[in-house]
Amino acid sequence: MEKSFTIKWGASFKRVNLDLHNVLGFYSLLFLLAIALTGMVYGIEWYSRSLYWATSGGQTLPEYPNHESDTLQAHCFYTQSQAMDKAWATVLTKHPEAQGFYYNYPEKNDLKSPIHITIYPTAGQFYNHQAYAFDQHTLKPMSRNTVYDSPYAQADFGVKLRRMNYDIHVGSILGLPGKIMAFFASLIGASLPITGFLIWWGRRNKKKPVGKTPGRSTKTPVTETQAAGEAVNGKRVRPTFVPKPKP
């Protein structure tokens, strides 16, 4: 059991390399699997939608909301700076203990551009964020999508899992220790192709034992005495030894 879960640092290079590949790969397997599966959400659309469908009880992943301000109300109530200050004060009043904020200032020459403000209750974590969108002209709150903007505590399992996807991917779901574990797991994952190649190369160039010729049998030739013990009429018989007559 100890051989399978420990590295023999005092052994030969080949043995240490084999242990690094097997032992470290075993310990990092679950972390690498989590990183890989969550990373596929960002790169493969059909996988992302299928995962949400499977974890939400057959629901379809909605498109990200495209908020637009009412251009007919432009310059009627607030300037962009005034609107931004009031929107910021509104969100800050609702979340005075938030440890992180992210906001999008409306585009200066785009009257449709809204104000987006996102708050993060815990520094370094993103899954439990809450997002707000305001009309830059009237400060009217815009509709919130249950997947992207709604309060985390009110979401169902599928939505919560999707919201946690990034934190699981980078390890921040467990705070700083999770980030450290994700870093070392990724480092091990990057080393596996190297150690695996060295194992393959060593076996490929392994020296063949001296005295053996490929395609030929290495068994000792059969003697006459052994031949006498071969099958007779399909049955094996013991050889009979006849003493040599004396002169």
Res 222 pLDDT > 60: no
Out of 144-158, 180-194, 210-224, the most confident range is 180-194
Out of 215-219, 231-235, 242-246, the most confident range is 242-246
> Can you tell me the distance from the alpha carbon of 133 to that of 91, in angstroms, rounded to the nearest whole number?
10
> Can you tell me the distance from the alpha carbon of 27 to that of 32, in angstroms, rounded to the nearest whole number?
10
Buried b (16+ CB within 10 A) or exposed e, 182-207: beebbebbeebeebeebbeeeeeeee
Res 83 pLDDT > 70: yes
> Can you tell me the distance from the alpha carbon of 108 to that of 112, in angstroms, rounded to the nearest whole number?
10
Q: How confident is the model at residue 35 (pLDDT cuts 50, 70, 90)?
A: very high
> Can you tell me the distance from the alpha carbon of 83 to that of 132, in angstroms, rounded to the nearest whole number?
14
Look at residues 94, 73, 171, 191 and name the one whose alpha carbon lies nearest to residue 125: 171
Report pLDDT for 213.
Answer: 55
Percent of the chain with pLDDT over 70: 80
Q: What is the 3-state secondary structure (H, E, C) of the chain?
A: CHHHHCCCCCCCHHHHHHHHHHHHHHHCHHHHHHHHHHHHHHHCHHHHHHHHHHHCCCCCCCCCCCCCCCHHHCCCCCCHHHHHHHHHHHHHHHCCCCCEEEEECCCCCCCCCCEEEEEECCCCCCCCCEEEEECCCCCCECCCCCCCCCCHHHCCHHHHHHHCHHHHHHCHHHHHHHHHHHHHHHHHHHHHHHHHHHHHHHHHCCCCCCCCCCCCCCCCCCCHHHHCCCEECCEECCCCCCCCCCC
More confident residue, 65 or 11: 11
Report pLDDT for 193.
Answer: 93
| CB-based contact 199:190 (threshold 8 Å) | no
pTM across the whole model: 0.72
> Can you tell me the distance from the alpha carbon of 119 to that of 126, in angstroms, rounded to the nearest whole number?
9
- In the predicted model, what is the mean pLDDT of the chain? 83
Report pLDDT for 161.
Answer: 92
Percent of the chain with pLDDT over 90: 35
Task: Compute the average pLDDT of residues 208-218.
Answer: 58
| CB-based contact 48:60 (threshold 8 Å) | no
Q: Distance between the two ends of the chain, CA-based, in angstroms?
A: 68
